[in-house]
């Protein structure tokens, strides 16, 4: 799904931020994304959860997502060491108590009403 060139349905992502760069321009987060079948029988058709580095500009309501970088599957260890600072690197290895917003339940509710 992430990296695929087509979607099976509407696409939604939830984000759980576990760290920030000192200037606030890079957010270190778990990103949970799925494409959905909509309507009364809504369900996630394909999805994934990955640690990522989100580069942003602006602030508050004017925050703009500029870039997202995920570790490559075949180079996960090297990429996690490369793109995550040491103080948050441990969180990039395992989601643990991930709490993305919107949650999977909230994304499902949106798909039901789409």
What whole-number percentage of the chain has pLDDT above 70? 93
Round to the nearest angstrom and report the end-to-end CA distance of the chain.
20
Instruction: Give the torsion sign (CA, 12, 5, 48, 58).
Output: negative
The pTM for the full model equals 0.83
Within the chain, which residues score under 70 in pLDDT? 1-7
Confidence (pLDDT) at 95: 76
Confidence (pLDDT) at 81: 96
Residues near 46 by Cβ (< 8 Å), separated by ≥ 6? 1, 4, 8, 34, 35
Confidence (pLDDT) at 4: 55
Confidence (pLDDT) at 94: 84
């Amino acid at each position: 799904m992430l990296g695929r060139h087509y979607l099976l349905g509407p696409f939604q992502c939830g984000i759980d931020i576990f760290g920030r760069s000192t200037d606030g321009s890079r957010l270190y987060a778990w990103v949970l994304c799925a494409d959905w079948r909509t309507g009364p029988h809504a369900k996630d058709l394909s999805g994934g959860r990955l640690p990522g580095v989100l580069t942003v500009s602006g602030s508050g309501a004017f925050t703009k997502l500029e870039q997202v970088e995920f570790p490559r599957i075949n180079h996960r260890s090297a990429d996690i060491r490369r793109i995550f600072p040491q103080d948050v690197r441990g969180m990039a290895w395992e989601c643990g108590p991930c709490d993305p917003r919107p949650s999977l339940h909230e994304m499902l509710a949106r798909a039901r009403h789409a």
